[in-house]
Structure 1
């Protein structure tokens, strides 16, 4: 079955950030301190339901370079993984190069390609990744990022409408409730991105039409 919508490709993203035991920090305080330490993405063909490429890099935190024990246990990311990883600005540059490598090969068109109709969309689970984590950290560190990050699909909103299940749920629980087993390690960004792509395919086969439902203006208002 072909995807019910206007897009040919989806780029599924799930960042992993520094984190601490929530008994010691409120969520608001944590957001102001969090830095992206894993930057994964998968390129999903929405017609064939095949993951055609993936991107992955760890990212070196600079504001609090030492990971908490809670963070290492929760994410499976070690201190060695991030110590020699690229900084956020370099990680974004590498990601941009990864996208650019498909511009001609696959005909990918993102939202900032003003002369052509967009056929590729970013998909996340909640608005945190592209609505809070990335722009907040880039703002603190004066890092520029491509304008194509400014619009995306928050899949959790569509999932809630589709299933009637309250939107305040974990991603693993969301998969379980519709009969999908989580593959890999929970809270691994790379595995989360691949499982997010599997959920997109499941919803596609169910005939769910996904349109952009989140942008920078929604988050900032």
Structure 2
């Protein structure tokens, strides 16, 4: 595989916790830094920093938490005067165009590179979904510097940028700004990786949408892939739950809504992820919000998921294999109901029965 001409080191800070707990406290992005690296010539082309003003929080008098101030040293006044997140992302898009690498403007190929999974999966994707900000396609694939480092140097654990700098015996960057310093040090690690012969292969993929699917009663689901979400609004659909976990890859048909004995949704769901890594990131969204409601997220077993989601209806499987997105259950139908009556725009009055329960 030919090497990508450019890699963009991408880094965000939030108004709350950063480092390994980045995104876990649902605080908003307040700093966005990116560095364009020319892989063919093995050099840094440019680095840009933007402060981001979060949406007002009526319960907080300050913009930045003490955790943020201690970790990043960010200036609260600069953050208060900054543009919102969508403007900062537009600036990033213009930067890519100006440097001739934007794919939509005939630019040369590039891929984002982040320190771990949280910058894109837990912060950018999640927050943009909540704020209805559309992201360009290049935000759905990236390289994880920690994984690339671990794969090439055969290390068991990579815990931080500092770990990688110390491991390679590189000098720390002297930049004053927290995010700029992190990106510059990522570039130093990237330069060493390239010089030592590392090539970037398949990138990480972020699923853009939940795919429909069905599992059978005898299917095996690992305990390390499933969480239980509680406290969901009663009208939440599988797509609403997928939006809550935006940025994390849910398995095909991986949202199972729990029902009460009366067949109504009870505010709980079982969610099956593509990997244990994504399941662990999902657990960090414990007590994040849908609207004004906080959602509890706990570990669950594969058996729990199968008990709710498992089925053996071959007709349902065939329906979903043809691209169908939703299956509904209707109860209380007259024995004489015809296919045409059921298929007509669901008009239960035409079935001449007082109580028809419809659920997905």
1:118 is displaced (CA, Å) by 5.8
Match of 1:169 in 2: 159
Alignment equivalent of 2:77, drawn from 77, 80, 93: 80
Residues 194-205 of structure 1 mapped to structure 2, 5 A cutoff: 194-205=184-195
Match of 1:62 in 2: 55
Gapped regions of structure 2 (runs ≥ 5): 208-246, 251-360
Alignment equivalent of 1:40, drawn from 30, 33, 49: 33
Q: In structure 2, how many angstroms separate the alpha carbons of the residues matched to 1:155 and 1:192?
A: 12
Match of 2:10 in 1: 13
Once the two structures are superposed, what CA deviation does each residue of 1:137-195 show, in whole Å capped at 9, x if it has no partner? 01111111212111011111111122232335121112101111221369811111111
Are the structure 2 counterparts of residues 120 and 45 from structure 1 closer, same or farther at C-alpha, using a change threshold of 3 Å?
same
Residues 45-194 of structure 1 mapped to structure 2, 5 A cutoff: 45-64=38-57, 66-103=63-100, 108=101, 110=103, 119-184=109-174, 188-194=178-184
Preserved contact between residue 127 and residue 214 of structure 1 (Cα < 8 Å)? no
Of structures 1 and 2, the one with the larger relative CO (CA 8 A, separation 6+) is 1
Paired residue secondary structure (2:31): strand
Paired residue secondary structure (1:80): helix
1:109 is displaced (CA, Å) by 5.1
TM-score (ref. length: structure 2): 0.53
Aligned length: 207
Are the structure 2 counterparts of residues 5 and 127 from structure 1 closer, same or farther at C-alpha, using a change threshold of 3 Å?
farther
TM-score (ref. length: structure 1): 0.83
Is the strand fraction higher in 1 or 2? 2
Are the structure 2 counterparts of residues 5 and 192 from structure 1 closer, same or farther at C-alpha, using a change threshold of 3 Å?
farther
Note the aligned Cα RMSD (angstroms): 2.7
Structure 1 segments (4+ residues) deviating >6 Å: none
Paired residue secondary structure (2:24): helix
Is the helix fraction higher in 1 or 2? 1
Q: In structure 2, how many angstroms separate the alpha carbons of the residues matched to 1:74 and 1:204?
A: 30
Q: In structure 1, how many angstroms separate the alpha carbons of the residues matched to 2:49 and 2:176?
A: 16
Paired residue secondary structure (1:126): coil
Once the two structures are superposed, what CA deviation does each residue of 1:19-53 show, in whole Å capped at 9, x if it has no partner? 2499xxxx59x535121111111111112222112
Q: In structure 1, how many angstroms separate the alpha carbons of the residues matched to 2:130 and 2:18?
A: 23
Are the structure 2 counterparts of residues 180 and 191 from structure 1 closer, same or farther at C-alpha, using a change threshold of 3 Å?
same
Gapped regions of structure 1 (runs ≥ 5): none
Are the structure 2 counterparts of residues 17 and 47 from structure 1 closer, same or farther at C-alpha, using a change threshold of 3 Å?
same
Preserved contact between residue 141 and residue 204 of structure 2 (Cα < 8 Å)? yes
Alignment equivalent of 1:219, drawn from 239, 248, 268: 248
Are the structure 2 counterparts of residues 45 and 134 from structure 1 closer, same or farther at C-alpha, using a change threshold of 3 Å?
same
Paired residue secondary structure (1:15): strand
Q: In structure 1, how many angstroms separate the alpha carbons of the residues matched to 2:128 and 2:25?
A: 12
1:94 is displaced (CA, Å) by 0.9
Preserved contact between residue 64 and residue 76 of structure 2 (Cα < 8 Å)? yes
Are the structure 2 counterparts of residues 170 and 57 from structure 1 closer, same or farther at C-alpha, using a change threshold of 3 Å?
same
